[in-house]
Structure 1
Amino acid sequence: MSRSIPEMIVAEATGWLGTPYRHQGMRKGVGCDCLGLVLGVWQAVYGRGPEKPGPYAPDWAEAGGQDRLLAAARRHCVEKREGPGAGDLVLFRWRAHLPAKHAAIMVADDRFIHAYQGSAVVISALVPQWRSRIAGMFAFPDKPI
């Protein structure tokens, strides 16, 4: 019996736990940022990445003014209206007027895996402070879009 896409996403994402934070990194066990985690998981599950983000500064979202992360998720994933579940991509924005800047993968209905500066890839609870910052929720596609 083969595993579903969400099961494969969760299995691959949990394999990244403990990977050190590295801005623009995308290598399991070596270093990644939140986008590198998502792109690395995508690469492992689908065999190729959705698109290359190009170089970006730590403050890229604020400096550019465009919601590039949200737009890319809409191009490659299936937007959800209901709450996120295991294997879903969740994007966060720090303030209502700012673009989405942080990406995570849900590992359960109330927990997500992500990488952030000063830490490593970890699992965090989707507490109200995180939930209120959700900018978008997406299912990974059955086949890459």
Structure 2
Amino acid sequence: MRFLLPACLLIAFAAHAAPQQDRTEELDSLLADKGLINQLQQVRQTVVDRTSDLVVTAIGFLGVPYRRGGNTVETGFDCSGFVRAMYNQTVGHLLPRRAEEQAAATQKIDRSELKPGDLVFFNTMRRAFSHVGIYVGEGKFIHSPKPGAQVRVEDMSGSYWQRRFSGARRVQAAQGEINANTGD
């Protein structure tokens, strides 16, 4: 009697799962026939690689001094110059120069959807999207904060950043980049 209920549950689960498994196998077969599984895996891996590269590259610039209007390691970086340089150097994607232009040129996402490599924007000058950084994961972002400071990682849950959060954005790969990576 003790094994009857678990056995019944197992049989019911198996009966329910079988049609779903058949549909999944059919879909996998269709995608494989069209060659789409390989293409999707390549695009996914490219995005993962580039995101990891972007965050690793950005971390390599910790300590570079802030400089208003700066966009190179030699001159120093302001916030948008840092983001622009990281994306151009790592992904080969040239973002607009100013933080508010970067916000306008990228896809709006919810804060809960943030992934490493996404952009985070803050209102630090009494206007939305006046400051930008790169999300690195676990509620942290890397940025070039202000005169007299250096590129650093900060926690978005700190009261200063929490009060000033303007939004999150995702940089979309250009169609040509996707096609180059999938062979299309």
TM-score (norm 2): 0.60
Report the counterpart of residue 173 of structure 2 in structure 1: 142
* 8 Å CA contact retained: 1:21, 1:120: yes
**Residue identity opposite 2:143 in structure 1:** H
Contact 2:54–2:91 (Cα < 8 Å) also in 1 = no
Between structure 1 and structure 2, the one with the greater Rg is 2
| Pairing of 1:82-121 with structure 2 (within 5 A) | 82-83=111-112, 84-94=114-124, 98-116=127-145, 117-121=147-151
User: What is the root-mean-square deviation in Å for CA atoms of aligned residues?
Assistant: 2.5
Match of 1:124 among 154, 157, 165: 154
TM-score by length of 1: 0.74
Runs of 4 or more off by more than 4 Å in structure 1? none
Whole-angstrom distance in 2 between the partners of 1:80 and 1:125: 19
The match for 2:82 is 37
What is the aligned partner in structure 1 of residue 62 from structure 2? Answer: 17
Number of corresponding residues: 128
Q: In structure 2, list runs of 5 or more residues that go unmatched.
A: 1-44, 177-184
Q: Which moved more, 1:135-144 or 1:116-125?
A: 135-144
Higher RCO (C-alpha 8 Å, min separation 6): 1
Q: In proportion to residue count, which structure has more strand? A: 1
CA deviation digits over 1:58-98, x for unaligned, max 9?
Answer: xxxxxxxxxxx3343232x2210242232110010037x62
Percent identity of the aligned residues? 25
**C-alpha distance in 2 between matches for 1:110 and 1:46:** 23
Q: For residues 144 and 102 of structure 1, do their structure 2 counterparts lie closer, same or farther at Cα, with a shift above 3 Å needed?
A: farther
Distance 1:115 1:86, change over 3 A: same
Unaligned runs of at least 5 residues, structure 1: 54-68
More helix by share: 2
